[in-house]
C-alpha cells in the first residue's frame, strides 16, 4: 500500500523554515485535477487529456508520446519533492479524488503531503511574506510580468524573472501567446534554471510543467515553491474566482477575491483561511482504497 504522510497546513511553515535554515535544497509541488488526469494516463480518456493540455498550453493536438514525456517529468518531480500539495479520497470534486491505486499506478513513492491549496495558505497566512523578508535572492517563473511590483514590495531582494506563456484558459488581452510552452519554451527553461545555491528562492507559477521546473531547481541546489495562481493574483488577475474571473479577455474581478490577503503587498491574515468557505482545506486528509 502506498504511504502518504499528510501534514496540516499549519505544519508547513516549520518544515520550510527548517530546510531554509539548514540551507538544504527544497521543492514543493502541487497536484490538481489536470495533473491527476496526466498521472492517470492511459486510463484518462483521450478527450479529457486533450482538454487538459489544450486549456493549459497551445490549442493543438498532443501526441501520446508527448503525454508520456510530460507524465514522466511530472512523476519524477513528485517523487523528488519534499512536500506535495494534493487532494485526498474525500475530495468533493470527482476529478480531484486520489485513492491508493492512483498513487500506485502512477509509480509514485512515499511522500510527505498537505492540502493542494497550500499556495493559498502560504500567501494568505503570511508564511510566504515571512520567508521573503529574510530571502536575498529570488527568481520568479510565471506568465505574469510582476517583477517591478515584486521589487517594490521587497526592495531588499535581488530579483529576476523568467516569463513563460500564460495558461491559455486564463489569458487576458495583451498576453503574448506566440510561443508554445511545450516543447519550445520548456526546453529553454530547463537550461535557464541555474540557482546560485540553496538560499536562492524560486517562486514558480508555471502550470503543468512547473512541477518539473521545481524538481530541476532542487536538483541544481535551489529552493523551489510551486505557488501557482498566486502569480496571477500578484498581477491583479484573480483566476480562481470562477467563471466571472476573466470576461471578454479582461480580469473582471481585478482586486477582488474570496481569499484573504491574496494580493501582493496585502497585510497577512493569519486566521483568514478559517473564515472563508474553503476552511475545509484545514481538515485532516487521508488516502483510502477506491470504493468497490
Residue range 213-253, pLDDT digits in tens? 999 999 999 999 999 999 999 999 999 998 888 999 999 99
Winning range, highest mean pLDDT, from 69-78, 248-257, 277-286: 69-78
pLDDT at 244: 83
- Residues 6+ positions from 19 with CB-CB distance below 8 Å: 26, 82, 223
pLDDT at 90: 94
Between CA 113 and CA 18 the distance in angstroms is 16
pLDDT at 55: 96
Determine the average pLDDT of the residues in 106-115: 94
pTM score, two decimals?
0.97
Q: Please, are residues 195 and 170 in contact by the beta-carbon 8 Å criterion?
A: no
Residue 278 has pLDDT above 80, yes or no: no
Q: What average pLDDT does the structure give for the chain?
A: 95
Question: Any idea of the CA torsion for 271, 20, 75, 186, to the nearest 10 degrees?
Answer: 100
pLDDT at 243: 82
Determine the average pLDDT of the residues in 180-193: 97
pLDDT at 272: 84
pLDDT at 2: 61
What length is written for the chain?
A: 292
Determine the average pLDDT of the residues in 139-146: 98
State the DSSP code for 143: S
pLDDT at 31: 97
**Nearest in space to 237 (alpha carbons), one of 221, 224, 222, 254:** 254
- Residues 6+ positions from 63 with CB-CB distance below 8 Å: none
Residue 280 has pLDDT above 90, yes or no: no
Residue 196 has pLDDT above 90, yes or no: yes
**Per-residue pLDDT reduced to its tens digit, 16-47:** 999 999 999 999 999 999 999 999 999 999 99
State the pLDDT confidence band at 281, using cuts at 50, 70 and 90: confident
Between CA 97 and CA 94 the distance in angstroms is 5
Determine the average pLDDT of the residues in 187-207: 97
pLDDT at 292: 87
Between CA 4 and CA 175 the distance in angstroms is 39
pLDDT at 1: 53
Cis amide bond preceding 183, omega within 30: yes
CA 165, 171, 172, 177 torsion-angle sign:
positive
Q: How many CB atoms lie within 10 A of CB 148?
A: 10
State the pLDDT confidence band at 99, using cuts at 50, 70 and 90: very high
pLDDT at 136: 98
Amino acid at each position: 500500500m502506498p504511504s502518504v504522510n499528510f501534514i496540516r497546513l499549519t505544519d508547513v511553515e516549520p518544515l520550510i523554515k527548517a530546510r531554509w535554515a539548514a540551507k538544504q535544497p527544497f521543492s514543493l509541488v502541487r497536484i490538481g485535477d489536470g495533473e491527476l488526469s496526466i498521472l492517470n494516463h492511459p486510463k484518462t480518456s483521450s478527450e479529457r487529456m486533450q482538454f487538459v493540455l489544450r486549456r493549459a498550453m497551445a490549442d493543438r493536438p498532443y501526441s501520446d508520446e508527448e503525454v508520456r514525456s510530460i507524465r514522466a517529468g511530472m512523476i519524477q518531480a513528485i517523487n523528488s519533492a519534499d512536500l506535495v500539495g494534493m487532494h485526498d479520497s474525500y475530495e468533493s470534486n470527482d476529478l480531484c479524488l486520489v485513492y491508493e491505486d492512483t498513487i500506485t499506478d502512477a509509480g509514485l513513492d512515499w511522500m510527505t503531503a498537505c492540502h493542494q491549496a497550500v499556495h493559498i495558505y502560504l500567501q494568505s497566512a503570511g508564511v510566504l511574506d515571512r520567508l521573503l523578508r529574510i530571502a536575498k535572492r529570488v527568481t520568479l517563473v510565471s506568465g505574469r510580468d510582476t517583477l517591478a511590483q515584486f521589487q517594490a514590495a521587497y526592495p531588499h531582494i535581488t530579483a529576476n524573472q523568467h516569463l513563460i506563456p500564460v495558461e491559455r484558459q486564463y489569458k487576458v488581452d495583451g498576453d503574448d501567446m506566440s510561443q508554445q510552452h511545450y516543447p519550445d519554451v520548456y526546453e529553454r527553461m530547463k537550461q535557464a534554471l541555474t540557482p546560485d545555491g540553496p538560499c536562492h528562492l524560486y517562486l514558480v507559477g508555471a502550470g503543468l510543467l512547473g512541477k518539473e521546473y521545481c524538481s530541476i531547481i532542487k536538483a541544481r541546489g535551489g529552493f523551489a515553491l510551486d505557488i501557482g495562481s498566486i502569480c496571477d493574483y500578484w498581477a491583479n488577475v484573480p483566476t480562481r474566482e470562477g467563471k466571472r474571473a476573466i470576461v471578454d479577455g479582461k480580469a473582471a474581478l481585478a482586486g477582488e477575491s474570496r481569499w484573504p490577503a491574496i494580493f501582493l503587498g496585502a497585510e497577512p491574515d493569519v486566521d483568514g483561511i478559517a473564515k472563508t468557505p474553503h476552511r475545509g482545506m484545514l481538515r485532516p486528509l487521508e488516502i483510502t482504497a477506491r470504493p468497490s
